[in-house]
Amino acid sequence: MKLIELREAGFRYTSNAEALNGITLEVQAPQIIAIAGPNGSGKSTLLDLIAGLRRLSSGKCLVLDLDAAAYSRRDFCRIVAHVPQRMPEGVPFTVEEVALTGRTPFGHGLYDSTEDLAAATSALARAGIEHLRQRPYASLSGGEQQRALLAAALCQQPQILLLDEPGAHLDPRNEASLWTLLREVRDTGCLVIVVTHHLALAARHADRVWLLDRGRLVMDAEPAVALAPSKLSQVFDVPFFGYSETNGRVFLSYGN
């Protein structure tokens, strides 16, 4: 069974501007996949298509060998969790209540079950914010809010976890711990797909990279291949430099 399969997937906005064209790929095993590319290359659009937040203009998107459009939203959210890039505003919940929203696809009544509360406690601890559980979400910093949304996604206990720029509001220490957590999530048998501009971190921590350029998939390979300086220099139109360790991990820098 394939976790995800895209067949000649394309997407156009209402202006008929083509955001994605001919994306074909498949994922059969849990791993960390980084989606990289210049601004406007279609990274978030691709993630939204997999998350079921946008409808394809052409082609197919299959999740667990079933067309994503065939799932009810409840059933789909039992499989796929999505952490957005932009923080929601005006959320009137505590951090614990935000985490518990991840249990919505499993709810059967008005009250949180013992299992729901245990899942929330575990998710908050894994996200490193258990000490904030009674704080209002709106009072948190951007990085803390991002972690609360991650806790909600972990509370879903998904088979596929999608994250759009999860390190955008994090300092280096917290971003490093985030990638450690993502490896732990992968090791529990979950597919993790991350949109990121932090190519150096993707090079060190991802198992696979989807490199996009102007709406097309130009590389689908392990980091040492997909993030080769020559390829990145071509895609981003700026000089890249790098070297590989014996384990195949790549160190990157860029600029003149």
Structure tokens at 247: 């384990």
- Tell me the HSE value of 90 on the side-chain side, using a 13 A CA sphere: 0
CATH (one of 3.40.50.150, 3.40.50.300, 3.40.920.10, 3.20.20.80) for 4-79+160-254:
3.40.50.300
* Domain regions of the chain by residue span: 4-79+160-254, 91-157
Q: What is the pLDDT of residue 222?
A: 93
Residue-wise pLDDT for 17-60, tens only, equals 789 999 999 999 999 999 999 999 999 999 999 999 999 999 99
Burial class (CB in 10 A: 0-12, 13-18, 19+), 121: middle
Model confidence band, residue 248 (pLDDT cutoffs 50, 70, 90): low
Output the CA–CA distances (angstroms, integers) from residue 256 to 203, 239, 241, 253, in the order listed: 20, 6, 10, 10
Instruction: Look at residue 239 and tell me whether its pLDDT is greater than 80.
Output: yes
Over residues 132-154, mean pLDDT: 93
What is the rounded average pLDDT of the residues 129-158?
Answer: 93
CB atoms closer than 10 angstroms to residue 110: 5
Residue 82 sits at φ, ψ, to 5 deg, of: -130, 130
Res 179: pLDDT: 92
Give CA–CA dist 182/50, Å, rounded: 18
pLDDT confidence of residue 110: 58
The reported pTM is 0.93
Structure tokens at 138: 């709106």
